[in-house]
Amino acid sequence: MFHKEFKTFITLAMLVVSVFSYSQTIQEIVIQDNKKTKTPYIKSIINLKIGQQLDSTLLENDIIRLKREAGIAHAYYQVHKVDSDYKIVYGVQENFTIIPYFNFYTTDEDEVAYRLGVTEFNTFGKGVAVGIFYQKDIFDSYGLNVRAPYLINKNWGLSFMAQSLTTEEPVFFNNQVAQYKYNNVSFTAGVLHQLSLNHRAEIALSTFTEKYNYLSGATSTTVPQNLEVSKFLAKLIYEYNGVNSYYQYHEGFKSLFNLQYVDSSDSALPSFTIWRNDFTYFHRIGERGNWANRLRVGFSTNDDSPFAPFAVDNNLNIRGVGNTIDRGTAAIVLNTEYRHSFIDKDWFVLQGNAFVDAGTWRNPGGELTDFGESQNIRVYPGIGLRFIHKRIFNTIFRIDYGAGVTPDATQGFVFGIGQYF
């Protein structure tokens, strides 16, 4: 008799728990403290919806998702009981998102280059980025970029870019160097897809024209002095982003894979395939420390061409090395640095960093053993400062000084906005 009553009690208790759990539904979702970012837009990109069951994992993922928005510096949630249901409040602390862009870099060879631009990262309060830039790297360059990752819905968006880049580029052949004026005029359109919180993909198509005009240096009958080639590019990007951020501090792992096929109309600049993967890892150290790492591995079709796609450059991979000092058909680059916030106030951060940038390249038409050749290896340790505004998106003014420790090394400053990686 007791056993039967006990079973009945357990059954009733489970029924009550089940009914109570079922009644814990979301009755209302409120967005507060957003002034520029539109409430319908925020509600469209979060996963929590009215009528769903209360789910703490879903709430935490929505906060991560919101903090990745350019227009939002920080986000939090509150849970309020309303009878047997719940009201969820998402609070956001917004960023100022009209951001000027400035990169300036030089070496001890008195090379100077800079890029100026401005981007509105939250156009119409809907997460649309619209930017323009002007670059002076001996010659003038300019461009326009539009990126709307959630233009269609929370999973689908579009991008567009038009630019004209003109620089002086070294071309390497027969252990000699020639300087060319390089111009690239391109138009690119892409489709963006957010598969889940941590996974996204992008497909883009581009048409562009490359021009090379000889300026000075060595010459060869096998290397044209003037070249104009029309090209077509197809690109696939896949990103896994498992990084969680708290203002300037980051924790977690991210992988960004970029695959491109370039079809050329001229055998002097042959068609090729190129892929690159950036592996990034961040680890918090104590209250104010952050260890940041990027491993970049890339390979392309191994043509014996002086116009190889992977460049060794100040602003891309090795701080202090100079402006495009070498080229290759494959590259392995490791950037590692420790960042420490000496001052961390409500809106301002002064951060110092100590870094080592190291890389090696495969020569055009070369072998994998090129990675181990001393003339292809560059190691540049250095130090830097970061001046960070916590209420303005990506407002990190950086100054780095790198000095090479490998043979024939240079040294120099690299200035810019945003972390180096």
Per residue in 281-326, pLDDT tens?
Answer: 999 999 999 999 999 999 999 988 777 889 888 888 999 998 777 7
Average pLDDT of the chain, as a whole number: 90
| pLDDT digit string, tens, across residues 70-87 | 999 999 999 999 988 999
Q: What is the DSSP letter of 350?
A: E
User: For residues 126-147, b (16+ Cβ closer than 10 Å) or e, as one string?
Assistant: bbbbbbebebebeeebbbebbb
Task: Determine the Cα–Cα distance for residues 257 and 276; give it in Å rounded to an integer.
Answer: 6
Q: In this structure, what token pair is assigned to residue 25?
A: 């539904």
Across 320-337, average pLDDT = 90
Q: Mean pLDDT throughout 264-279?
A: 90
Q: What are phi and psi of 320, to 5 degrees?
A: 100, -5
pLDDT > 70: percent of the chain = 93
What are the CB-based long-range contacts (under 8 Å, 24+) for 141-144?
Answer: 141/115, 141/165, 141/166, 141/167
Please name which of 393, 328, 301, 375 lies closest in space to residue 99, comparing C-alpha atoms. Answer: 393
Q: What number is the average pLDDT over the span 56-76? A: 94
Token code pair at residue 11: 């059954």
Can you list the domains of the chain with their CATH numbers? 2-94 (3.10.20.310), 98-417 (2.40.160.50)
Rounded Cα distance between 108 and 352, Å, is: 23
Q: How many CA atoms lie within 13 A of 163 on its CB side?
A: 23
SS3 assignment, position 296: strand
Higher pLDDT, 59 or 306: 59
Alpha-carbon distance 225 to 279, whole Å? 38
CB-CB contact of 192 with 200 (8 Å): yes
pTM of the predicted model, to two decimals? 0.79
Q: What pLDDT, on a 0 to 100 scale, did the predictor assign at position 326?
A: 79
CA-wise closest residue to 58 among 81, 22, 90? 90
Mean per-residue pLDDT for 263-275? Answer: 88
Decide if 38 contacts 126 (C-beta within 8 A).
yes
Whole-Å CA distances, 240 to 62, 66, 135, 157, 197: 17, 17, 31, 18, 9
Q: What number is the average pLDDT over the span 358-365?
A: 95
Identify whether the C-beta of residue 215 lies closer than 8 Å to the C-beta of residue 166. Answer: no
Measured distance CA(257)–CA(69) in Å, rounded = 21
Percent of the chain predicted with pLDDT > 90: 76
Is the alpha carbon torsion for 264, 269, 273, 275 positive or negative?
Answer: negative
Confirm if 114 and 139 have CB atoms less than 8 A apart. Answer: no
Six-digit token string for 206: 């581009």
Residue with tokens 């130090």: 383
By the 10 Å C-beta count (0-12 exposed, 13-18 middle, 19+ buried), 338 is classed as middle
In tens, the pLDDT along 185-202 reads 999 999 999 999 999 999
pLDDT of 105 reads 66
Hey, what are 242's tokens? 């498992």
